[in-house]
Amino acid sequence: MTNLTRRGFLGRAAAVAGVAAVGHPGWWRPVAHAGEPVPLRYAICNELFEGWPFEKAFGFAAECGYTGIEVAPFTVSNYVTDVSAARRREIRRQAEAAGTPICALHWLLARTEGFHLTSPDRAVRRRTAEYFKELARFCADLGGDVMVLGSPQQRNLQPGVTLEQATTHAVEVLGEVLPVLDQTGVTIGLEPLAPNETTFMSTAAETVGVMRRIDSPRCRMILDCKAAITEADPIPDLIRRHRREMIHFHANDPNLQGPGFGDLDFVPIMGALLDIRFGGWVSVEVFDYSPGVERLARESIEHMQTTVRGLLAKA
């Protein structure tokens, strides 16, 4: 019997236990009856609105029904060290005023130079660790508490570096960041990406292996639909298997557009997220904007909400 079939509603004690199991103590939301608010938190990645004033982007996201924003740092500045304290406060104020507080960062190293997670060069690794510390402070200043570590080009295996050596280097870099993560309350979410995107952490299993070597509650994992579709196991199976490692979720289609814009069936995916009582953010991340920014934002969340309501109605 799944969680959805227990009269369509979870008692508070059971819900809290479920949230604690996936690492989100202090957050609780019950599974709703059909027609009630959907028991998942939806965010959207802000680079979709690149070029829009932040107030306009945050306001439109709120109109669509999102309650969180995931920020690509390059939409603010190529280097977060160039962003003043006043500018950070202003962005946070704008997001919170719109009702879409900033929940996470991603594309951490995009449009930067000189950083690499698995480099054999100790000086490069040291610079990368120091920049991750600055990213954690930036994330916390904006109000976020998750940093999605994708950035495939800045983690790829370099010539002559074995997978074991690359893993040792990555563990070293991220281990140096842990004290600042503890200070800021920010967690890094390692993101498995498809083999055609990266040569390091290209499966959930490999990513969990890195996470376990770091061995800190400040280092977890996220899943991304367009990447997870390349795994041997279906996405719902991955969600259930890694329920205790997952802190964040990227919703998109392998065609690089949003949920509902391609052939990926979100019914079992959303069902799995409900089954594990996922307490993290379900964040829409798209790469192909050809359907139009406004349509992508609006219809992606509508598709997920409609899917979840249908699951709850059948429970």
Please classify residue 80 by burial: count the beta carbons closer than 10 Å to its beta carbon, then call 0-12 exposed, 13-18 middle and 19+ buried: buried
Q: How many CB atoms lie within 10 A of CB 305?
A: 16
**Which amino acid, 53?**
P
Q: Give the pLDDT score at 248.
A: 98
Whole domain around residue 122: which residue ranges? 3-314
State the amino acid at position 39 in one-letter form.
P
pTM for this model (two decimals): 0.88
Phi, psi of 28 (to 5 degrees): -145, 140
pLDDT for residue 315:
79
User: Which residues in the chain show pLDDT less than 70?
Assistant: 1-38
Return the SS3 of 43. strand
Ranges of beta strands (E only) in the chain are: 41-45, 68-71, 102-105, 146-149, 187-190, 219-224, 246-251, 281-284
Residue 39 confidence (pLDDT) = 78
Sort 107 into a burial class: Cβ within 10 Å, 0-12 / 13-18 / 19+: buried
The contacts of residue 262 (CB under 8 Å, 6+ apart) are 253, 254, 255
- What pLDDT does residue 37 have? 46
Dump strand ranges (E) for 6-91. 41-45, 68-71
What is the total count of domains within the chain? 1
E strand or H helix at 124: helix 122-142
- Residue 2 confidence (pLDDT): 34
Q: Are 131 and 171 in contact (CB under 8 A)?
A: no
For residue 121, what pLDDT is reported? Answer: 97
CATH number for the domain spanning 48: value is 3.20.20.150
* pLDDT of the residue at 13: 27
